């Protein structure tokens, strides 16, 4: 028998509104969702904006390990079997609006609402596949190709429609951290992409789909006589 006393659960409404165990937070660019070493007591759902996740080594070296776009979760490590401390820092790249969900509420809704747990599992699988792709990228591709891939990911070319997309404001230092090279190399490659018509830059970076040729087919113009030797892995 169907329990008519229980209202229907709507995933979109849950993730769009505040309620018991969850609240909406606003973050300015460069503000942190949480910092490495903080208690891992919540998960964030990014409603609007862009963020990055970084880690800092004991020697003080910072590395950017992933980017977060609207419609994604961040801080999911809080759901580990034993509640502990954050292993990374999440920082807003642009102005962000996020739903902060307490750990207990997150666990409850995952257990009780299959529609939500299905959505969250899909997110975890996609995140895992992207991490795998990032690792393969770091191991086997040149830094120029890694930069092209990061720019395309940030431009969200998996979405249908526009032939060119603007990127959120991001520094060359952050791009260098993400692809494992120096800022000067990133500057060199960015200038090269601009000269080849793959990107435009006038305060903000605009990426054209033609950059896909670098990632998918290793297609560059036939200028081998002047083409610089690309940095290896």
CATH code where residue 64 lies: 2.60.120.10
Answer yes or no: is 1 within a domain. Answer: no
Q: Are residues 94 and 126 in the same domain?
A: yes
pLDDT for the residue numbered 42:
96
H/E segment holding residue 190 = helix 183-195
What does the pLDDT read at residue 83? 64
For the chain, count helices (H), then strands (E). 7, 11
Q: Using an 8 Å Cβ cutoff, are 94 and 122 in contact? A: no
Range(s) of the domain holding residue 78: 11-137
Structural domain ending residue among the three candidates 137, 153, 187: 137
What does the pLDDT read at residue 75? Answer: 95
pTM: 0.75
Q: What pLDDT does residue 231 have?
A: 43
Tell which of 94, 111, 137 closes a domain.
Answer: 137
pLDDT tens by residue, 103-123: 999 999 999 999 999 999 999
Any bridge partners for residue 51, and if so which? 68, 92
Residue 15 tokens read as 């993730």
The CATH code of the domain that includes 173 is 1.10.10.10
Q: In terms of Cα–Cα distance, which of 186, 193, 191 is closest to 213? A: 193
> Can you spell out the DSSP letters for 42-62?
EEEEEEESEEEEEEE-TTS-E
Residue 223 located in a structural domain = no
User: In the predicted model, what is the mean pLDDT of residues 211-231?
Assistant: 55
Q: How many domains does the chain have?
A: 2
Are both 106 and 169 inside the same structural domain?
Answer: no
pLDDT confidence of residue 1: 42
pLDDT, tens digit, for every residue of 180-219? 889 999 999 999 999 999 999 877 788 988 888 777 666 5
Per cent of the chain over pLDDT 90 is 47
Residue with the bigger pLDDT between 24 and 158: it is 24
Domain annotation covers residue 231 = no
The pLDDT of residue 203: 73
What is the mean predicted confidence (pLDDT) over 138-144? 82
Residue 167, domain member (yes or no) = yes
127 & 158 share domain: no
């Amino acid at each position: 028998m169907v329990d008519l006393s229980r209202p229907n659960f709507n995933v979109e409404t849950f993730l769009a509104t505040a309620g018991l165990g969850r609240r909406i937070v606003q973050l300015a660019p460069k503000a942190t969702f949480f910092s490495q070493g903080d208690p891992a007591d919540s998960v964030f759902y990014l409603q609007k904006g862009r963020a990055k996740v970084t880690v800092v080594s004991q020697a003080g070296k910072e590395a950017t390990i992933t980017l977060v776009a609207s419609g994604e979760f961040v801080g999911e490590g809080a759901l580990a079997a034993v509640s502990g401390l954050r292993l990374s820092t999440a920082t807003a790249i642009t102005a962000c609006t996020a739903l902060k969900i307490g750990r207990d509420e997150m666990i409850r809704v995952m257990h009780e609402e299959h529609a939500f747990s299905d959505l969250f599992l899909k997110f975890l699988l996609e995140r895992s596949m992207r991490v795998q792709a990032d690792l393969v990228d770091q191991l086997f591709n040149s830094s120029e190709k890694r930069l092209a891939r990061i720019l395309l990911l940030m431009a969200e070319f998996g979405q249908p429609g526009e032939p060119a997309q603007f990127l959120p404001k991001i520094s060359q230092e952050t791009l260098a951290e993400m692809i494992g090279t120096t800022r000067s190399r990133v500057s060199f490659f960015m200038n090269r992409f601009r000269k080849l018509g793959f990107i435009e830059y006038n305060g903000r970076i605009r990426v054209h789909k033609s950059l896909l040729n670098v990632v998918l087919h290793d297609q560059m113009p036939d200028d081998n006589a002047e083409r610089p030797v690309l940095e290896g892995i």
